[in-house]
Structure 1
Amino acid sequence: MTLAFPNPSRSFDRARNAVRFTGYDGMFEVSFFVDAGVLARSDTELRQAGAPETKFLSAFDALRASIHDAARKAYSEGRRTFYILTAADFR
């Protein structure tokens, strides 16, 4: 099976300082987190302390295609319980 993202839901996880989203490999659910620093690279307002969660979610939406591509690549390199995507995953 291949990794798909049929559910567009995402949420901000304050504890991880990341946006959480889910992918599916057939019937298996796979959790992903995109580090907030990755999203802040594209928006100077997000680099400031205390940026609102809604801004991070909007940045995620704008970068969704490339985030999904990075998630597929990370997933193809080895199956784990969850994945944290950092700047290194987007090079």
Structure 2
Amino acid sequence: SQDALTRIQPGIQLDEPSLLNAFDANREKICAAAARVYVRGGRGWYDLGPANF
């Protein structure tokens, strides 16, 4: 989520290019958080928020 990205990378601009750059720059952290959440449940989709970081 946008809130999760601003927690990972404080001070980023909230436009699409900046958010996509933040996602790309923090892909390893995001994948690690996703792996932790995925292990806990068997849903079809997951929304990573600030609490996951």
Consecutive unaligned residues in structure 1, runs of 5 or more: 1-34
Find the counterpart in structure 1 of residue 11 from structure 2. Answer: 44
Residue 43 of structure 1 deviates from its aligned partner by 3.4
Q: Secondary structure at the match of 2:43?
A: coil
Q: Which residue does the alignment assign to 1:54?
A: 17
User: Hey, what's the Cα distance between the residues in 2 that align with 1:65 and 1:85?
Assistant: 14
Q: SS state of the match for residue 67, structure 1? A: helix
TM-score, length-scaled by structure 1: 0.53
How high is the sequence identity, in percent, across the aligned residues? 37
The TM-score, its normalising length taken from structure 2, stands at 0.86
Gaps of 5+ in 2: none
SS for the counterpart of 2:51 is helix
Instruction: State the alpha-carbon separation in 2 of the partners of residues 45 and 68 from structure 1.
Output: 20
Paired with 1:75 and 1:85, the residues of 2 have a C-alpha distance of: 10
Higher helix content, 1 or 2 = 2
User: How many residues get paired?
Assistant: 52
| Bigger radius of gyration among the two | 1
Task: Provide the alpha-carbon RMSD of the alignment.
Answer: 1.1
Q: What's the counterpart of residue 47 of structure 2?
A: 84
Q: Which has the higher contact order (CA 8 A, sep 6+)?
A: 2
Write the letter of the residue equivalent to 2:35.
Answer: R
